Structure 1
């Protein structure tokens, strides 16, 4: 993460308190230092750079830094910049997460484009109520998941061309826990991990927390280039890889079948443990995508991760791992050590819902596809200079802005009641700060207002660029 990308994430909600701007900014830095998110002697951004990022005047940043220095939080020296004081009160070090978190006291009129959360309609709420009628019959531990649910998921993988026994399925508390289990099982501090760039921020955070060295493979229009993946694997000898071949998060790219076959064969040859993120593969809006990567090499060390969160509802915290037989002992142990089993009611509800998976898929398409088309049409009408490809599935637009200050724009847009996620935070290495990830999961009725605010914020942002800021 570049310095400014890190501070963009660190200061996401710095305006949410009250008082003069310089005191709000100073307070946000104090909180970050005290919480351990900024290390002793760590350098803060230069005054002009931070002012540009946050759409502030340089004098406001100078006043905030002076306030920090007066309180003993930082040291300032001409020529060497501003650094966190070694004597500043602090807790143990904590990562600055890329994963955006909803503020508990967010304004009621704020529109949030940071996390894609499927909305439940009245039909789905009724489905949940009916599925819950028999969801409380057990009071036992199932560390690896309710047996009937494991069998049902195995059946679905087999139908999709990947023969799977129930014993190869491990139920988790969402896809994020599944990724964390893989990291804990296969990584030690200093190990290399190969990821797409850009990629899912939750995976980046998990692997950073494990102390891994993150190696990025740039995503193209049809996914990860095979030759670059091979070259980086042979050069860095990674202990784990993370891939989303189908409706890649955030670009929406789909890897062709031929590339999947060759990539799966290479993974099998190298015996490289690989996570295949399947969480979006059910969300297609046209012809079905190619078979899963793992189907081309069933004995390769490829672990599939699935979830109900994107298909049905984020509040139903049920995910799973489809595990090759050779990897079962290690991952079964990892799951049992993590907990004695997920929520039994949630698993029984999931089991009932999966009895008609085609209907679930179709219902989700009916919700998401019109929202995708509406958002794309509104952006083309009101922000024609923003560039994007309409994806064939998934739930995001990967939008390129005509600027290298997209992170700064996200802070500016907060003044208009918009929460945005800078694409640079989803990148590894030198991803240009020109992208936004815009999910099309907001209620369709909110999208016209959301784009109106985007357009107003963007045109104001452009006007302010190159001018003296008076904030």
Structure 2
């Protein structure tokens, strides 16, 4: 396995090794039961001392990710219930064998460069889950899927010649014109020439990272933040520094102090209906953040998936709308709001930054699929504003349902703040709640949530979680939240009882 060691870092080498392996285990890239490389092999591969690797493995054992045995080596521990472990073990055994019965274990010798991949691990729920509250999405029945399918059908049948040629690397011109009109009505003046169509916001983030971020470059992010962005910047070998938030967003005062010591290459932010917390950055802080970028000649990557989903008043103007010197790359996703399967987003940038992003896009996939661009273009141009107005009302009703259930069933350990828009609720649990046990029992009860640890770099042991109140029906949301509150209360009681049973220290 490839481990990028930063020998000049303030983080000790053994901790760098332990953190990298821990990320891979938690991401599912190293499966339960896998034997880690021997201490001697890891020592030779990394060019470090035996003591360093021994201390790294001891750290992994201390946080209960591996089990080490003298003479037998270190093995990754399972974290699921025994019956689930049996199913996973059987699946792993099947995956480790080809269709002809030949062992595929030799593949473990192939070096890969994925230090972390939390996004895919938390994307799909377990089969036993009935109430899927972990996914930040809109209930499929609320989306205009049939209208978009009809649009795609007519385009492909009536204009077959359009499908017989490659589209522009930069994206369909008509779609970019439509986006320009859309953004203008929201206070962002931009021309089609300054846009790049990407296959969802995730590709936009990845293009920015692959183009501008290399090993050791400093990237600032909110803490917590979007799991998929952490995965992307970690894979580039960036030095990620996280900045705490309050009810106005990223703490600019702390960011300013940190930048004096660690000048930024890029600042990643979700200023509007932040994922996962739902917090919206104030106008003043948006301007302050832009001033920092101008002072340090760095980029801001402004990720904006939810700005159209406000419940009362529109959110503050985007940071990009204040940007006159090309410091902001603005990414607006339309996938979640219209059709997750279409994977369409728009990146707005200026000057050579845009040129380099288009070049990166061309080498990635030769341009996004033309059919989905054309299908969405017609819908956005003719029906989007009416549709999204109705959608906001429906999503707000789901938030009210979630609020009522939590007010009635939440325990004293639970705290939350209702967002002004978006899809997510961030719940914080007081005390020393065992989140791994809570997650296990919640899944067993049929309710999924996103553990807050997945939204932090290096998986902070935070007692928080994210639920999506828009992904299911109102009735299913009620039932799922009631069950979740019951499980939280049970786990809390179990922990309190276990603490009471302990003998006092003398």
Partner of 2:466: 437
**2:111 paired with 1:92:** yes
Partner of 1:389: 417
Per the TM alignment, residue 72 of structure 1 is displaced from its structure 2 partner at its CA by 4.8
Partner of 2:386: 359
Q: Give runs of aligned pairs for residues 279-298 of structure 1, distance below 5 A.
A: 279-298=305-324
CA 1:284–1:397 in structure 2 vs 1: closer, same or farther (change >3 Å)?
same
Q: Which moved more, 1:337-346 or 1:452-461?
A: 452-461
Q: Which moved more, 1:1-10 or 1:252-261?
A: 1-10
Partner of 1:43: 57
| Partner SS, residue 309 of structure 2 | coil
- Aligned partners of 2:129 and 2:448 also within 8 Å: no
Q: Give runs of aligned pairs for residues 352-431 of structure 1, distance below 5 A.
A: 352-355=378-381, 356-385=383-412, 386-404=414-432, 405-428=434-457
- The 2-side partners of 1:88 and 1:326 are apart by 41
Q: Deviations over 1:84-127 (max 9, x none)?
A: xxx99554244342214467794254322222122222772332
- The 1-side partners of 2:23 and 2:480 are apart by 22
Partner of 1:131: 151
CA 1:329–1:122 in structure 2 vs 1: closer, same or farther (change >3 Å)?
closer
| Partner SS, residue 467 of structure 2 | strand
Per the TM alignment, residue 293 of structure 1 is displaced from its structure 2 partner at its CA by 0.8
Q: Give runs of aligned pairs for residues 28-427 of structure 1, distance below 5 A.
A: 28-31=31-34, 33=36, 41=53, 42-43=56-57, 50=64, 65=67, 72-74=73-75, 90-93=109-112, 94-101=114-121, 106-107=126-127, 109-121=129-141, 124-136=144-156, 137=159, 138=162, 139-141=164-166, 142-355=168-381, 356-385=383-412, 386-404=414-432, 405-427=434-456
| Partner SS, residue 436 of structure 1 | strand
Per the TM alignment, residue 466 of structure 1 is displaced from its structure 2 partner at its CA by 5.3
- The 1-side partners of 2:143 and 2:459 are apart by 45
Per the TM alignment, residue 422 of structure 1 is displaced from its structure 2 partner at its CA by 1.6
- Aligned partners of 2:145 and 2:339 also within 8 Å: no
Superposition TM-score, scaled by structure 1 size? 0.82
| Partner SS, residue 424 of structure 1 | helix
- Aligned partners of 1:118 and 1:309 also within 8 Å: no
- Aligned partners of 1:264 and 1:300 also within 8 Å: no
Q: Deviations over 1:134-181 (max 9, x none)?
A: 332312222111111111112222332222111111001100000000
Q: Which moved more, 1:5-14 or 1:336-345?
A: 5-14
- The 2-side partners of 1:236 and 1:44 are apart by 31
- Aligned partners of 1:113 and 1:418 also within 8 Å: yes
CA 1:467–1:333 in structure 2 vs 1: closer, same or farther (change >3 Å)?
same
Per the TM alignment, residue 132 of structure 1 is displaced from its structure 2 partner at its CA by 1.6
Partner of 2:490: 460
Q: Which moved more, 1:360-369 or 1:104-113?
A: 104-113
Unaligned runs of at least 5 residues, structure 2: 1-14, 44-52, 77-105, 500-506
Superposition TM-score, scaled by structure 2 size? 0.76
- Aligned partners of 1:268 and 1:297 also within 8 Å: no
Per the TM alignment, residue 9 of structure 1 is displaced from its structure 2 partner at its CA by 8.4
Unaligned runs of at least 5 residues, structure 1: 15-26, 54-63, 76-86
Per the TM alignment, residue 319 of structure 1 is displaced from its structure 2 partner at its CA by 1.2
| Partner SS, residue 384 of structure 2 | helix
Per the TM alignment, residue 33 of structure 1 is displaced from its structure 2 partner at its CA by 4.9
- The 1-side partners of 2:465 and 2:24 are apart by 14
